[in-house]
Structure 1
Amino acid sequence: MSPILPDSIQHDQLKSRVSLFFKQAKIGTFLHQSTIRKEKGLSALILIQFIFSLVLQGKNLYRTLESGRFPDAPEKDAVYDLLKRTTYNWRKLLSLVSAHLIETILKPLTSEDRDRVLILDDSTYDRNRSKSVELLTRVFDHTTGKYIKGFRMLTLGWSDGATFLPLAFSLLSSKKESSRLQGINPVIDKRTVGYRRRQEAIEKGTETMFTLLDTIDPRKLGVKTLLFDSWFAYPSILKRVVTNYSLHVVCMIKRSPKVHYTYEGEKYTLNQLYKMLRKKRGRAKVLASVIVGIGFNENAEEVQARIIFVRDRNRSKEWLSLLTTNLEHSEEDAIRIYGKRWAIECFFKVAKSHLRLAKEFQCRSYDSMTAHTTIVFLRYMILAMSSRESEDDRTIGNLFYLCCDEVEDLRFAEVLLIFMELLGTMLTEDEILADDQVGPFLDKFFNKLPKFLREPLLLSNAT
C-alpha cells in the first residue's frame, strides 16, 4: 500500500505535522470531554496518534503490532482495548473536533454571503468476508446492484464549497431482527454509550438522521441549509427539519405516486405537476418550476417549497426534480447549492480507497468499528485542512487581510454597470445612436438580461 503523503515527507516531518494537527484540533482536550481516557499504561492520546499515523506512512496495523520490528509500537492488547471500550463516546469526539476546526479556522476564511451547508448521505460499510461481526446485516450496494454483508454508514458533514469535514455518523444495521446476521452482544451494559449506539443502529435511517442533527449546533457552524438525496425527501421529514431545526432543505425528489404536493388548492403527484406546467422552449436546462405546499396530514400546517424540473443530461428526453424550502432561492441558486452535495461522495471515495475504512483490521465488536471509523474520519480532516492551507491564500494569516485593505474589490454587479455606461458612451461618440436613443436602447438591453444578472444590477442601483 502506497503512502498517502509524498515520499519527500520523512518520518520526522510526518510526526511533526500530525502533532501540530492534534494540537490545532485540541484532540487531547476533546478526548477528555468524550470520556476517552485510560487509567494506566499509555495514554489514549498516544495510542490514537499511533493508529492515526499508520496509513499516512503506508503501514498496516496488524503487521506493525505483530512483527516486533517497531520498538515505538504499543502492545497489541492496549490498542484493541482502546478500540472496544463501550464507555468511550467517539461520536462526541468527532463532533467536537469538527466544530472546533470549522469555528476557529474555516468560518473566518469564508464570507457570510457564501453558502455553508450540511450534507447528509449514506454509503456502504463493506464487511463482505465477515461472519461473526456484531449486528452484521445485508445491505444493498447501489454501485454494484448487489447485496453485500456490512452496514449502511449514515454520515452528516459540513461544507463551504471548498472544504468538507465530517461531523457525525452511525453504522446502521437492519430494523428487522430476521434480516440481521448477528445480534447485539448480550453482555453489553445497557447504561453505556456503546449500548445506545447499538440501539440507534437498528432504528430507521430517517430517525437516526435526526439523532445526528441533534449532536451539532447549526448556528455555530454558520449553516442554514441541509442537503440530501431523494432517499430522505419525504414531506414529514422536510417539515420536521424546517420546523425543529430552523434549516432550509435542498434535495432531490423522486416520482412517488404516494407523495402529493398542494398546488392551487389541489393535491398532485410529481408526474401530474410536471404535465400541468408550461415548459421552457428549446434546450433549456431548467424546464419549469412551481411553488407548492408540503404537509404530511390533512390537519398539519403546510410548508411552502419550490420544485424545479431540470433536464436530465444523460437522457435528454427525461427530467429530474429538485426541491428547495427557501423561496428566496432562484432556480440557478438551488441547482448550484445542491451541487455542493458532491463533496460527500468524494469524501466516501477517499475514506474507502485511501484511508482504509473498514479494511485496516477485521474487528468484530461494534464499538471497535465505531472507534476505527472515527479515526479514519480524523485522518481525512488532516488531509482536508492541509489541502485548504496549500490552496487558500487567506490561510497566510493577517498579512493577507492587510493586503486586501489596500485594494477594494469590484463586485460583479459594479463591473456590469461600468460596462453598460461605457457601451452608452461609445454609441453616442461614434454617432451610432442619437442621445435620446441611447437610454431606450440600454433599457431594452437590460430587460433582455437573465434574471440572475438583472437582480444584482437593481440592488447596486438601489444602494
Structure 2
Amino acid sequence: MVEQILAMMVFRILGESIGFMSKTKFYGILEVGKNCFYRLLARPEMDWRILLLSMARRFHSIVRKEKAEETNAPKCYIIDDTTVSKTGLHFEGLSRVFDHVLGKCVLGYKLLILAFFDGRSTYTVDLSIHRESGKKGNYSLSREERSMQFHKERIEGKPDYERFKELDTKKSDNVVRMIERAYKGGIRATYALMDTWFVKAPLVCAVRKIGGGAVHVVGRLAMGKDRYAVGSRRYNVHELIALHEREAVVCRKYKCMYFEQRVMMGDTCVKIFFIRVGRNKNWDAIVTTDTHMKFVKAFEIYQIRWNIEVLIKECRQYLGLGSYQGTDFDEQIADCTLCLMTHMVLTLGQRFNEYEALGELFRATRREMFELTQWRRTLEIIKNLLNVLAVKLCINVANTMENLMQGTQAVSELEAILSVLSPSEAAVTR
C-alpha cells in the first residue's frame, strides 16, 4: 500500500494519470496493474485524514530534527475554501455551489482546507469536501439529475462513512473540529486566520475554547448588518464608523488610516481595527480576539492568510487539484489528499534547497523523475540484450556483468560479439 501511495504521488509530479501510466507499464516503477490503484482510492477502510495529519506531524518532526524551525513569525492555522468544479452529473454527492471568483453557481464541491504556517512554510493539515443544499434543499439539481449520480452503500463507523456525512455538515462546524484534531495531534498554533465567510460569533467563540483559550482568531470582518455590543448598546460596523472615524490615526508604515474599537462578539470580547487605505473612502475591518494586539501586528499577521491562496493556486497549476474524474466520493477525498500530500513533500524539499519558488522546484523534480524513469528503461534494454546473448552464445549473464564492471577488455569483447549479430537479432534487443 505504501508503495502505491508513493507511486501515485510520483505520477502527480510527472503530470500523468494512473490510466496513462498503466499503458507505459508505470515506467518500470511497479509491477502491479492499474486496478490496484483504483481499489486503493475507493477503499472504505482507508483513513486519508489520519494519513494527512501524520504527514504533517512528520513534516514538523523533520524540520525540528534538522533545526530549521527557528523563526520569529507566529505559528498560524489558516482556513479557507475553494470550488472544485466538475463537468458531469455522475459524481457522487454533487451539487451546484456558488463560485465567488466566477460570481455564479457551478457543478462541483466546496473543498475546505486547514493549513498550518510554521513561520516559514505552509502545508495542509486537514481537509473536507462539502456541498450546498440550495434554497429548496435539492442541491440545486432536478430529480432526474440527482438520479444520475453514482451511489454506494457505506457501513457506519468506517472512515468513508464519516467523510460522506461531512458533505452536509456546516463548514463553520467542521472548522472547529479540524482545529481541535490538529491541536490534539501536536500541530499547535497561536492564531487562526480566516476570511469574512468564517468570522462569525459562534465560530469565534468555539475556537477560543480550544486548548483552554490558547488559540486566538484574526480575521477580516464582513461589512454587513451584524450588531456588536458596546456597553449596553449594540451597533453594526457602519454605525461604529460614523461614530468614531474622526478618531482615526495615520499608520506611516502601511500608508493607511485606522481606528480601533473593543466590542462583544457573542460572548467573546474582540478588538476591531477599521482601516482606510490611501484616498479610498471605503473602510475595511480586521478583528482579533487578542485585545492587547496593536494594529501593525494585526495587519501583518492577517497578511499571512494569503499563503493559503498561494498553496491552492500551486496545487491547481502544478498538481491537478480537483481534476480527478472518478465518480466515487471516496476517490475524490483520496485524490485531494494525495495532491496536498505531494505539495507537502515539495514544500519540504523547497525548505532545504535553494529554490525560491515552488514552481522551479516542481520543474526540477519532474525533470529528475523523467531522468530516473529513462534510466530504468535503459536498464531494461540492457537486460534484454544480455538475455539474447545468454541464449545465442550460451554465456553466463552474471559473469558477463561482473566482467563489464571490472575493466574495458570485456567491453571490447562484447562489442565484437554484437558485431556478428544479425540485424533481426539486434532488433530483438531494442
Per-residue deviation at 1:336?
A: 0.3
Give the match for residue 85 of structure 1.
43
Give the match for residue 272 of structure 2.
307
Give the match for residue 23 of structure 2.
66
Give the match for residue 316 of structure 1.
280
Q: In structure 2, what is the Cα distance between the partners aligned to 1:186 and 1:77?
A: 18
Q: In structure 1, what is the Cα distance between the partners aligned to 2:172 and 2:342?
A: 28
Farther-moved stretch of structure 1 (166-175 vs 237-246) = 237-246
Give the match for residue 375 of structure 1.
338
Q: Which fold has the larger relative contact order, with Cα–Cα distance below 8 Å and residues 6 or more apart in sequence? A: 2
Deviations 1:35-60 (A, max 9, x none): xxxxxxxxx11111111101322433
**Other structure's SS at 1:390 match:** coil
Are the counterparts in 1 of residues 271 and 291 from structure 2 also a CA contact under 8 Å? yes
One-letter amino acid of the structure 1 residue matched with residue 310 of structure 2: C
Give the match for residue 199 of structure 2.
233
Aligned ranges 1:101-112 → 2 under 5 Å? 101-105=59-63, 108-111=67-70
Is 1:285 the counterpart of 2:256 in the alignment?
A: yes
Give the match for residue 23 of structure 1.
none
Per-residue deviation at 1:357?
A: 1.2
- Segments of 5+ residues of structure 2 without an aligned counterpart are 356-430
Per-residue deviation at 1:211?
A: 2.3
- Structure 1 106/381 Cα, relative in aligned 2: closer, same or farther at 3 Å? farther
**Which one of 239, 253, 263 corresponds to residue 272 of structure 1?**
239
Give the match for residue 389 of structure 1.
352
- Structure 1 84/219 Cα, relative in aligned 2: closer, same or farther at 3 Å? closer
Per-residue deviation at 1:72?
A: 3.7
Per-residue deviation at 1:191?
A: 2.8
Are the counterparts in 2 of residues 136 and 180 from structure 1 also a CA contact under 8 Å? no
- Structure 1 205/282 Cα, relative in aligned 2: closer, same or farther at 3 Å? closer
Are the counterparts in 2 of residues 92 and 215 from structure 1 also a CA contact under 8 Å? no
Give the match for residue 81 of structure 2.
122
**Other structure's SS at 2:305 match:** helix
Give the match for residue 168 of structure 1.
126
Q: In structure 1, what is the Cα distance between the partners aligned to 2:236 and 2:328?
A: 45
Are the counterparts in 1 of residues 114 and 125 from structure 2 also a CA contact under 8 Å? yes
Are the counterparts in 2 of residues 250 and 325 from structure 1 also a CA contact under 8 Å? yes
Structural RMSD (CA): 2.4
Farther-moved stretch of structure 1 (114-123 vs 213-222) = 213-222
Q: In structure 2, what is the Cα distance between the partners aligned to 1:334 and 1:69?
A: 50
Deviations 1:162-190 (A, max 9, x none): 21010000011124550165468352222
- Structure 1 343/372 Cα, relative in aligned 2: closer, same or farther at 3 Å? same
Deviations 1:361-406 (A, max 9, x none): 41010111111111111110111111111249xxxxxxxxxxxxxx
Give the match for residue 326 of structure 1.
290
Give the match for residue 7 of structure 2.
50
**Other structure's SS at 1:133 match:** coil
Larger radius of gyration: 2
Aligned ranges 1:121-270 → 2 under 5 Å? 121-127=80-86, 129-175=87-133, 177-179=137-139, 181=141, 182=146, 185-217=151-183, 220-245=186-211, 246=213, 247-257=215-225, 259-270=226-237
- Structure 1 69/160 Cα, relative in aligned 2: closer, same or farther at 3 Å? closer
Give the match for residue 349 of structure 1.
313
TM-score by length of 2: 0.74
- Structure 1 184/145 Cα, relative in aligned 2: closer, same or farther at 3 Å? same
Deviations 1:58-80 (A, max 9, x none): 43322112354734443111110
One-letter amino acid of the structure 1 residue matched with residue 217 of structure 2: V
Are the counterparts in 2 of residues 175 and 203 from structure 1 also a CA contact under 8 Å? no
Per-residue deviation at 1:234?
A: 0.9
- Structure 1 112/67 Cα, relative in aligned 2: closer, same or farther at 3 Å? closer
**Other structure's SS at 1:231 match:** coil
Per-residue deviation at 1:333?
A: 0.4
Are the counterparts in 2 of residues 184 and 198 from structure 1 also a CA contact under 8 Å? no
- Segments of 5+ residues of structure 1 without an aligned counterpart are 1-43, 296-301, 393-463
Give the match for residue 425 of structure 1.
none
One-letter amino acid of the structure 2 residue matched with residue 338 of structure 1: Y
Deviations 1:2-56 (A, max 9, x none): xxxxxxxxxxxxxxxxxxxxxxxxxxxxxxxxxxxxxxxxxx1111111110132
Q: In structure 2, what is the Cα distance between the partners aligned to 1:334 and 1:110?
A: 22
Q: In structure 2, what is the Cα distance between the partners aligned to 1:377 and 1:358?
A: 11
The percentage of counterpart residues that share the same residue type is 22
